[in-house]
Structure 1
Amino acid sequence: MLEWRRKVNTWITICDTCKREGWDAARDAQTDGEALAALIEAAAEGRGEVRTRRVSCTMGCERACNVVVQAEGKIGYSLGKFTPDAVSAQAIVDYAGLHAASETGQVPFREWPQGVKGHFVSRQVPPPVDTEA
């Protein structure tokens, strides 16, 4: 008999206020985070297991262009120091797809897209399931 499992999406949370070194409000029409967010959103379009959302500030300013990859009941990851370009965006979305396919959220290093290697900042274990009423 097949066991029914609720579908759990992997979320890419993108800091849209990130500004890389050298960003200039007089010159740049949008923040680096806004630029990266738009690229990630475009790359994730049609990927049902991967969802995106923007937030204003993930408090990783020294590593500008930050994202968080997370899903309910799975290990989550903070990544930073991305360049707001299509290559980085695609690598982030591809990694999120692997995260979505993993039961625990862990993805073997050998499977990581090259574009995310060297960008991991921290890992967050999911909170315990509270069984007390």
Structure 2
Amino acid sequence: MTTWITICDTCKRDDWDARALGVTDGEVFADLIEAAAMGTAGVRTRRHSCLMGCARGCNVAIQGANKLNYTVGEFEPSQEAAEAVVGYAALHAISESGQVPYKQWPQAIKGHFVTRHPPLPTDE
């Protein structure tokens, strides 16, 4: 089953203005995650403008149908962080419930979990 990585492409870390990048930290992080996810089985990416976690940018949602879903944030837009997000998403994709044992988490994602959402009900 597919796990989606939804990347906030409007995130700006606190020092963004001083760094004058010309692009948002979210765009930089999205580029890195998309590259890291290329060819990863069961993982797809998409960008979304504003996940409303501005105090914790850079933010990403890890989601799959009928699974626990997660928001992770407060990342530096780095290769290591992007690979950790993709690595966790790949484990989420193969998990029946979406829950991944802590000992399997990539080190660089630990401490970045913001929220966990239960799956939506399937009955009307």
Structure 1 length-normalised TM: 0.90
Shift of 1:24: 1.5
The corresponding residue for 1:113 is: 106
Is 1:93 aligned to 2:96, yes or no? no
Runs of 4+ deviating beyond 4 Å: none
Select the residue among 77, 81, 89 that pairs with 2:70: 77
The corresponding residue for 1:66 is: 59
Q: Deviations over 1:95-117 (max 9, x none)?
A: 00000010000000000000100
CA distance in 2, matches of 1:102, 1:24: 40
Structural RMSD (CA) = 1.2
**Matched residue count:** 124
The corresponding residue for 2:48 is: 55
Gaps of 5+ in 1: 1-7
The corresponding residue for 1:23 is: 16
The corresponding residue for 1:41 is: 34
| Bigger radius of gyration among the two | 1
Gaps of 5+ in 2: none
Amino acid at match of 2:26: G
CA distance in 2, matches of 1:48, 1:101: 9
The corresponding residue for 1:128 is: 121
Higher fraction of helix: 2
Change (3 A) 1:26 1:32: closer
